[in-house]
Amino acid sequence: MNAHKNVITLLAFSVGTLGAVSAKSQDINANWFTHVELETSDDAQAIDREFEWGESTLFLTGNSGRWSFLSEASFQAEKYRDKQFTIERIRVRYEFNRDNAVSFGKMHTPVNYWNDNFHHGRYFFPTINRPSSFGRFVPVHEVGLRLSGQSPMVEGVGYDIVFGTGQSEGDDAFANGVQSYTASFSWAPTPQSKTMISYYRDTILNHRDNPFHGGHHYGGHDGELQDHDMPPQGLASGSETDIAYELVSWSFHHEGATWRTLSELSANRTDQGDLNWAAFQYLGYHVNESLSAYALFDYVNVSQDEVHFSAGTKQRAGVGIEWFPTNSASLKVELRREHEDRTTEPHQDSTVLEAQLAFGF
């Protein structure tokens, strides 16, 4: 309930800010995104082969002078996730000058290029799904205070520092003070290229009963954090142990006239244990202005000694095409080979064909 009240408070504050913005400026934008998709595999039952209506997202932005506002709310039918309506992001931003700004609210963490640049609308995704690490390691959202800017001395160098509520508290702003810290640095040597490196640290509170960025952060998407019906390895059921979580990430993105590439590498650990790691690689070729072909590789490895996430590996590799029939529609089709090996279940191998039609208005 407290988390819900905090979101309402943030929403009221931000809407009030937007009202002030609208009174002085006409620079207010509203965009709506949605998608439908179909997935089938060589081991799917006939009942599984049906169209799914994915997330629908309303994206609002506004600015007046040095102040700006951003809000992102998503909806998905109860058939696909528990919470039909979710506030994904809501924050206000004040620019001290051209190079430095401060933001407060619920935002995407700047831990990697994907999370810092793509919102929930699938229209902009380079592939149909997020990297698998988003279902496990990546702290997608954070309620907190963010300092960001560009270096006045070295062109293209940027920074982001976030003091956050932590994943365990969800939207309950600073209920236990500052629990998480993010430091991210980027370099854009050209307008077409950007590389990022980041460090994230959090304290997972009562980690057995309050799993790190649980279902409300990832409802309706692929991926799973841990086996909630059994205690994590090495801990008794019902343990209220607080443990540290650390994540180091590196990203590189380049988009030229012909080629586009996105590389994501990360390593993490809980309770100063062994490292888990993840890798994602996208390589796309622009056939023409409306058609691209691409290849993807996605890999996650969780240590056998891990105390919080489910141990095992997951791998996806495949090829796809993306076609823009209009400026507001995108059709992606992917053929993938997937492998998953978890300590709690027999390993699974499958060939998956998935199609997604996304819209952005």
Question: Which residue is associated with the tokens 């070295």?
Answer: 154
Question: Of 289, 303, 260, 297, which is closest to residue 132 (Cα–Cα)?
Answer: 297
Q: What is the pLDDT of residues 188-205, one digit of tens each?
A: 999 999 999 999 999 988
Least confident of 40-54, 135-149, 176-190, 228-242: 228-242
**β-bridge pairing 157-164 and 51-53:** unpaired
User: Which 3 state secondary structure label does DSSP give 174?
Assistant: coil
**C-alpha R_g of the chain:** 20
**What's the whole-model pTM score?**
0.85
Q: Are 356 and 129 in contact (CB under 8 A)?
A: no
pLDDT exceeds 50 at position 214? no
Question: Which residue is associated with the tokens 């586009």?
Answer: 260
CA distance 349 to 56: 31
Q: Are 267 and 277 in contact (CB under 8 A)?
A: yes
Q: Which two tokens stand for residue 345?
A: 């279940």
Domains of the chain: 2-360 (2.40.160.10)
Q: What is the pLDDT of residues 90-132, one digit of tens each?
A: 999 999 999 999 999 999 999 999 999 998 899 999 999 999 9
Cα four-point dihedral sign 93, 360, 250, 200: positive
